[in-house]
């Protein structure tokens, strides 16, 4: 039974909203995955704050176009053939951009039917399981900000240590010079 235009527009609106709100997205080929396995994947995704849904490739391409995301990476390679071909499910990461990649890598190791196509790392498309591993290693925005604060705090702290050591080094140098003059 064909899907009505209204349902397609509704599905497109959902995809546009999710692509607009997510920090990362992972594309999965789910050919051969049973309904029970798919429910298990959705359950694990919800547990880490991610969404997992099945979508038509044409609607995915339209949603990407509507949100301004491109399937062409900075080097100019177009990944649309790899990411939007065959049966496609999408995992969206919002607060923890690495969560969908981590969960799907773990599930793909346990179930050979789950094929990782690639995804988005921020706004940059990545392809294959190696791309999903890259997504799994991503940090959240808060983690990056914490790293910056740590670096900013470390600078003055190190400077204080160096400056506090200066008088001792000057005293040692003065002592060495005094001994040389005495000799």
Same domain, 78 and 99: yes
Query: What is the predicted pLDDT for the residue at 138?
Result: 79
Same domain, 130 and 167: no
Q: How far apart are CA 129 and CA 135, in angstroms?
A: 10
- Residue range(s) defining the domain that contains residue 175: 140-183
Does the structure show a pLDDT above 70 at 163?
no
Same domain, 68 and 126: yes
Same domain, 159 and 134: no
Same domain, 97 and 168: no
Same domain, 23 and 99: yes
- pTM (whole model) above 0.85: no
Same domain, 128 and 145: no
Same domain, 120 and 152: no
Same domain, 42 and 66: yes
Cβ-defined contacts of 60-67 (< 8 Å, 24+): 60/15, 60/84, 60/88, 60/90, 62/12, 62/15, 63/12, 63/15, 63/16, 63/18, 63/19, 64/19, 66/12, 66/16, 67/16, 67/19, 67/20
What's the number of domains the chain is made of? 2
> What residues form DSSP beta bridges with 93?
24, 50
Does the structure show a pLDDT above 70 at 162?
no
Q: What is the CATH number of the domain that holds 33?
A: 3.30.70.1730
3-state secondary structure of 115: strand
Does the structure show a pLDDT above 60 at 1?
no
Same domain, 76 and 34: yes
Yes or no: say if 55 and 66 are a contact pair by the CB < 8 Å rule: no
Query: What is the predicted pLDDT for the residue at 122?
Result: 79
Same domain, 111 and 145: no
Does the structure show a pLDDT above 60 at 73?
yes
Output DSSP code: residue 25.
Answer: E
Q: How far apart are CA 142 and CA 68, in angstroms?
A: 24
**Each residue of 91-129: pLDDT tens digit?**
999 888 889 999 999 999 999 999 999 988 878 888 888
Same domain, 58 and 99: yes
């Amino acid at each position: 039974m064909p899907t009505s235009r209204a349902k397609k527009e509704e599905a497109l609106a959902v995809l546009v909203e999710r692509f607009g709100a997510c920090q990362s997205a992972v594309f999965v080929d789910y050919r051969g995955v049973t309904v029970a396995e798919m429910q298990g994947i959705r359950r694990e995704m919800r547990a880490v704050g991610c969404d997992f849904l099945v979508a038509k490739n044409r609607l995915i391409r339209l949603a990407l176009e509507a949100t301004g995301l491109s399937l062409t990476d900075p080097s100019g390679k177009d990944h649309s053939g790899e990411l939007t071909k065959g049966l496609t499910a999408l995992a969206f990461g919002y607060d923890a951009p690495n969560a969908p990649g981590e969960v799907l890598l773990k599930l793909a190791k346990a179930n050979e039917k789950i094929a990782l196509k690639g995804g988005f790392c921020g706004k940059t498309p990545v392809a294959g399981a190696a791309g999903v591993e890259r997504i799994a290693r991503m940090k959240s925005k808060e983690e990056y900000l914490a790293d910056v604060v740590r670096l900013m705090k470390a600078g003055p702290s190190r400077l204080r240590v160096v400056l506090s050591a200066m008088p001792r080094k000057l005293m040692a140098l003065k002592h060495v010079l005094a001994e040389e003059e005495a000799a």
